[in-house]
Amino acid sequence: MSLVPYEEKSVLYNLIQLYRYDSSEFDGHVLNHHGMYLYKYFDHQWTDEYRRPFIVRVDGEISGFVLISLDVPKEYMKLSGAEKTNIVSDFFIMRKYRRKGVGRYVAYSLFEQFSGTWEIRQTAGNKPAYEFWKQIITQYKADDFYQEKILQNEKWNGPVFVFESAAR
């Protein structure tokens, strides 16, 4: 997993197209008149201090991406109530690498590298994402506490996991 430099933003843009296509059955995203999926906060990945875009690779081959927000500002919508909160904004592992431990490895790496309070949200209808994150967080936290909330407002509709991570 490595940060995406601005000079390679076209790689991330291409992956976001695959991600949006893959998740369109759950979130209702549609193609624009150019045949592309829009991503409102794409350029913000390099202009907002708290955002971090990562490319995931397996044996050198691009296998997905993760967009996270670290220590989000107070005005950002968050449920944790913590002073600082990390958020997984988007998480995509290509189908070829799913169910092989890649997603688990990436998630655990994020939790270890950026310890603190985390929020992970899923679109209400995306049952596979919900099951993935429930399993990942349950196994990561073992018997420790985590919260599962349902958020429904004009900006978000779906389940949210809130938990603490700490470098082990």
pLDDT of 142 reads 67
Task: Please report, rounded to a whole number, the percentage of residues in the chain having pLDDT higher than 90.
Answer: 65
Find the domain containing 63 and state its range. 2-165
**pLDDT in tens for each of the 168 residues of the chain?**
999 999 999 999 999 999 999 999 988 889 999 999 999 999 999 999 999 999 999 999 999 999 999 998 666 666 777 888 999 999 999 999 999 999 999 999 999 999 999 999 888 889 999 999 999 999 987 667 778 877 766 666 788 888 988 765
The structure tokens listed for 166 are 């700490």
CA distance 3 to 103: 17
Q: What is the pLDDT of residues 118-138, one digit of tens each?
A: 999 888 889 999 999 999 999
Collapsed DSSP state (helix, strand, coil) of residue 117: strand
Count the domains in the chain: 1
The structure tokens listed for 58 are 């397996």
Q: What is the pLDDT of residues 80-105, one digit of tens each?
A: 778 889 999 999 999 999 999 999 99
DSSP label at 66? E
Q: What CATH number has the domain bearing residue 147?
A: 3.40.630.30
